[in-house]
Amino acid sequence: MHQDTVVESTTSARGAVAIISNREGELLLHLRDDLPDIAWPNHWSVLGGGCDPGEHPRDAIVRELDEEAGLRVHDLVELFEIHDKDGSGQLITFFAASWNGDESALPLAEGVKLQFLAPEDLPYRTIPPFIRDGINRHLAARPT
């Protein structure tokens, strides 16, 4: 019985992330702060974060993009969900969108930097496993 309760409380925590690509097919990645109290410190990730209580993942990602980088996108598409079993424990909803601006001009509110990276550069970056899985899944489904 206790194990079921733990699983239920872990899976009730939700988050949302966005795979943002530009016209060159590069992906916008976020180098996270190197702080011991955050999930996946000093890792490259995509923008996103946790859902507030009762907040829908779509609303959360719109809020997170604005809070973290002052970024607004208009073609947000929900993709799939992946469980971050090795980090925050959250069920993460992945979204995709396009944006063709200058990432260095975005007002970064947290983390070290934002950078567009070509997919072939990703194997050389330290990326959380669930984010890498989501990116690979998205890239495999993307038209060439």
At 86-131, the pLDDT tens digits run 888 899 999 999 999 999 999 999 899 999 999 999 999 999 999 9
pTM, full prediction: 0.88
Q: Which uninterrupted H or E stretch holds 39?
A: none
Q: Which residues contact 81 (CB under 8 A, 6 or more apart)?
A: 91, 92, 93, 94
Identify the domain containing residue 121 by its residue range: 2-141
Count of structural domains within the chain: 1
Separation of alpha carbons 60 and 105, rounded Å: 23
CB 77 within 8 A of CB 30: no
Look at residue 2 in the predicted model and tell me its pLDDT.
35
Mean pLDDT of 57-67: 97
Distance from the Cα of residue 73 to its chain's centroid: 14
Would the pLDDT of 5 be above 60? Answer: no
Give the pLDDT band of residue 12 (cuts 50, 70, 90): low
Q: At 101, which CATH number?
A: 3.90.79.10
Report the share of the chain in percent with pLDDT over 90.
79
